[in-house]
């Protein structure tokens, strides 16, 4: 039978997802202990700590997404939804993908806060206006300027929220409707947190370089060097 997305018992399905994840949690107790230790060491910017922490976070994310997929597909199979290919595509597009975006945003915000990323770097790398981009003109007014390169103040929660919003439908995957043949593909570039992300490059150039008459082509190289300088060190 055909079933519309709004007819799925989403609340019931979510309870099953978290029940299954909870059932599997005991098997990950050792990893959770390591994750907790690594969290406390992230501000030291040791590359191996960051690599291991990201591996653990990615593993947990994949497990959550697989569990989401499996339980939704179990519902599809139990209720004999058809056409079956379209039903599974709907699960991917309307359940798995939105869950991935929500989880990535959540983990990104935690990671950025734990590493105490300066607001200045969010402006330079992603073009996010932060406190360091505003010059006080008195009477509560200020005007936008390139970020203060000497300001190492950690990004505020609001600034980090802007960073999290870079993870969206337009930055990760593109879906072609299954009724039009179906397809899933990446846009050009490595995503919102890659050195070649077009959107981040253009926004950072407009905020940081355009007023200084630096060309976009020149800014790409400058931004990449700044990106590399912020990497955790071996």
pLDDT band at 139 (very low <50, low <70, confident <90, very high): low
pLDDT at 141 over 60: no
pLDDT band at 105 (very low <50, low <70, confident <90, very high): very high
CB 135 within 8 A of CB 128: no
CB burial string 100-124: b at 16+ within 10 A, e below: bbebbbebbbebbeebebbbbbbbb
pLDDT at 109 over 90: yes
pLDDT at 3 over 70: no
CB 191 within 8 A of CB 197: yes
CB burial string 165-204: b at 16+ within 10 A, e below: ebbeeebbbeeeebeeeeeeeeeeeebbbebebeebbebb
Q: What are phi and psi of 170, to 5 degrees?
A: -85, -10
pLDDT score recorded for residue 158: 95
**SS3 state at 176:** strand
Q: What are phi and psi of 89, to 5 degrees?
A: -65, -40
Instruction: Round the average pLDDT of the chain to a whole number and report it.
Output: 87
pLDDT score recorded for residue 211: 84
pLDDT score recorded for residue 144: 80
pLDDT score recorded for residue 219: 93
Query: Residue length, the chain?
Result: 234
Q: Which residue has the higher pLDDT, 9 or 185?
A: 9
pLDDT digits (tens, 9 = 90+) for 144-201: 888 888 899 999 999 999 999 999 888 888 887 777 777 787 777 778 888 888 889 9
Mean pLDDT of 52-69: 94
pTM for the full predicted model? 0.85
**SS3 state at 175:** strand
Domain ranges of the chain: 1-116, 118-234
pLDDT score recorded for residue 137: 66
Please give the structure tokens belonging to residue 151.
Answer: 């300001």
Query: How far is Cα of residue 178 from the mean position of the Cα atoms in its chain?
Result: 26
Mean pLDDT of 214-221: 93
pLDDT score recorded for residue 185: 77
pLDDT score recorded for residue 79: 85
């Amino acid at each position: 039978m055909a079933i519309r997305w709004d007819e799925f018992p989403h609340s019931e399905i979510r309870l099953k997802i978290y029940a299954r994840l909870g059932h599997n949690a005991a098997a990950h107790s050792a990893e959770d202990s390591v994750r907790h230790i690594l969290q406390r060491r992230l501000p030291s910017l040791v590359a191996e700590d960051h690599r291991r922490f990201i591996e653990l976070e990615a593993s947990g994310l994949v497990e959550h997404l697989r569990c989401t997929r499996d339980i939704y597909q179990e519902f599809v199979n139990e209720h004999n939804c058809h056409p079956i290919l379209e039903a599974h595509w709907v699960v991917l597009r309307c359940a798995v993908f939105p869950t991935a975006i929500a989880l990535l945003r959540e983990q990104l915000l935690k990671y950025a806060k734990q590493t105490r990323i300066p607001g200045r770097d969010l402006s330079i790398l992603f073009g996010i206006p932060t406190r360091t981009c505003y010059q006080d003109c008195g009477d509560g007014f200020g005007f936008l300027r390139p970020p203060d390169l000497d300001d190492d103040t950690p990004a505020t929660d609001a600034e980090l929220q802007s960073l999290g919003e870079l993870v969206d439908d337009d930055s990760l995957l593109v879906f072609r409707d299954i009724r039009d043949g179906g397809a899933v593909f990446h846009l050009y570039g490595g995503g919102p947190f890659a050195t070649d992300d077009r959107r981040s490059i253009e926004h950072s150039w407009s905020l940081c370089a355009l007023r200084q008459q630096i060309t976009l082509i020149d800014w790409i190289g400058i931004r990449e060097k700044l990106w590399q300088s912020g990497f955790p060190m071996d």
